[in-house]
Amino acid sequence: MSELLDRHHRVMGGHAPLFYEEPLTLQNGEGVWLEDENGNRYLDLYNNVPCVGHSNPRVVANLAEQAGKLNVHSRYLHEGVIDYVERLVDLHHPGIQSAILGCSGTEATEMALTLARTVTEKRGIICTDATYHGNSSLVGRLSGLPVGTERNGVRSISTPQLFRPLAEGLSESELLQKHLDQLAETIDSFADSGGFAGMMLCSILANEGLPNPPSGWFTEATAMVSDAGGLIIADEVQAGFARSGAWWGYEMNEFTPDVVCMGKPMGNGFPVSAMAASHEMITKFRKRHRYFNTFASSPLQAAAGTAVIDEITDGDLVHQVAKVGARLKSSLTKLQTQHPQMGDVRGSGLFIGVDWVAPGTSIPDVAGAQRIVEKLKSRFVLLGKAGQHGNVLKIRPPLVFEDAHANIFLEAFEDSLADA
């Protein structure tokens, strides 16, 4: 391990990120299981990229078959690519009609920001103060942006949430109105600085830690954006493809985006992403910007992407995710009554967050959350952390996760709590 770790640091660069105090060396994966170099099997509750399971046979077969025939870039016609994109946009509401494929979520969100500014001929973009939409120079401007500051045409609003409210002593309806007032002020702030182009938000607020906003926030906030002439950009890179118990997170939270960004799970590990919108918007974007990616819109991408859609559809995984996730969340909520460090249990489908706190408070306990992650690893269960403070346990297994797997996790989790 130490020799491999030294080699990793040498060739990948110092501070290259790795999970856990003692990093794992993985060799194999199948379904919801990962296997290390010593043959130990770990239950995977972290990896959303292999959404239909590690080493999924259909994905592997589709990729192998297509690789044995042809793989070229997007400057040629290929029926498999067209078939795939038609199926992809048909999974959305009727306003989503065309898409541009890419290779990463960052690429999709960057295209979406550029499209919003192109279509509206305005500049101002709004995001939350705890979001993450990618790591390019353009999209990275949305990360870690304090409320009240502007960064190259981007301003943030406070993350809408009930657990750590923007102001104490307010009813839920009063808190909602306070957030909407802040949004209105932020939209107005662009009047003298290039105008308002739109708002980008993860449709389940994943990187914010899956907070529950005041009831109606998504619907009313997005209506306000539309009324102001801005575009609503839903980042579905984490939320989409059945993750939350519906095909799309925006369906769960009842709003209708103008633009949708997709990524991580689309190819089950093969790099695929997409930015989708109306045909008119996509055409205007393409006319204005000479966008091209050598590896995007390829037959291999279509082969992997088609297999993922087939697996979700044929396996009725949307329903399974909703059912298994609801039971798991219910079990965690029951445990919460016995363990005050579990400050809040939230999320939907197979994306659940447990806000780890100093007992009896809402004060984030980052170190405590990390201890639980490490204790679970020692019991051969893998999960991660997220949230504005990095203290939210992130439970996000492949979609093929079943009740029996949930029971294994819950047993290990209870043992870890007892050992904490």
Report whether 382 contacts 44 (CB < 8 A).
yes
Is residue 1's pLDDT more than 90? no
Closest of 254, 419, 416, 249 to residue 348, by C-alpha: 249
pTM assigned to the model: 0.96
* CATH code for the structural domain at 59-314: 3.40.640.10
Confidence of residue 77 (pLDDT cuts 50, 70, 90): very high
User: Please, what CATH class does the domain formed by 2-55+316-418 belong to?
Assistant: alpha beta
Does residue 308 come out as left (phi exceeding 0), alpha (psi in the -120 to 50 range) or beta?
Answer: alpha
- What whole-number distance in Å separates Cα of residue 92 and Cα of residue 250? 10
Identify residue 328 by its one-letter amino acid code: L
Q: For residues 255 and 240, what is the distance between their CA atoms, to the nearest angstrom?
A: 14
Q: Which has more pLDDT, 66 or 144? A: 66
CA dist 178 and 213 (Å) reads 12
Q: How far is CA 344 from CA 60, 288, 291, 381, in A?
A: 39, 46, 43, 21
> Which amino acid is residue 383, in one-letter code?
L
The torsion angle over the Cα atoms of residues 39, 392, 206 and 328, rounded to 10 degrees, is 70
Q: What is the mean pLDDT of the chain?
A: 96
Tens of pLDDT along 285-342? 999 998 888 899 999 999 999 999 999 999 999 999 999 999 999 999 999 999 999 9
Predicted confidence at residue 37, as pLDDT, reads 94
- For Cα atoms 223, 180, 175, give the angle at the middle one, nearest 5 degrees: 130
pLDDT exceeds cutoff 90 at 420: no
Interatomic CA distance for residues 258 and 281, integer angstroms:
9
Identify whether the C-beta of residue 228 lies closer than 8 Å to the C-beta of residue 111.
no
pLDDT, residue 340, reads 96
Looking at the chain, the whole-number percentage of residues with pLDDT higher than 70 is 100
Would you give the DSSP letter of residue 114?
H
- Mean pLDDT for the stretch of residues 212-221: 98
Q: The tokens of 377 are what?
A: 């690893």
What's the CA angle centered on 209, arms 325 and 149, to 5 degrees?
155
| Locus of tokens 């992130």 | 394
Q: Is the pLDDT of residue 15 over 90?
A: no
Domain boundaries, the chain: 2-55+316-418, 59-314
Count the Cβ atoms, other than its own, within 10 Å of residue 339: 17
Number of residues written out for the chain = 420
- pLDDT for 16 equals 84
Mean pLDDT value of segment 226-231: 98
Residue 154, C-beta contacts closer than 8 angstroms, at least 6 positions apart: 124, 125, 126, 127, 141, 142, 145
Give the up-direction half-sphere exposure of residue 374: CA atoms within 13 A in the CB hemisphere: 12
Q: How large is the average pLDDT for residues 206-233?
A: 98
On the question of pLDDT at 252 being above 90, the answer is yes
Q: Given this chain, do its domains 2-55+316-418 and 59-314 carry the same CATH topology?
A: no
Question: Residue 262, SS3?
Answer: strand
Taking 90 as the threshold, does the pLDDT of residue 232 lie above it?
yes
**348-360 pLDDT tens trace:** 999 999 999 999 9
Confidence band of 406 (pLDDT split at 50, 70, 90): very high
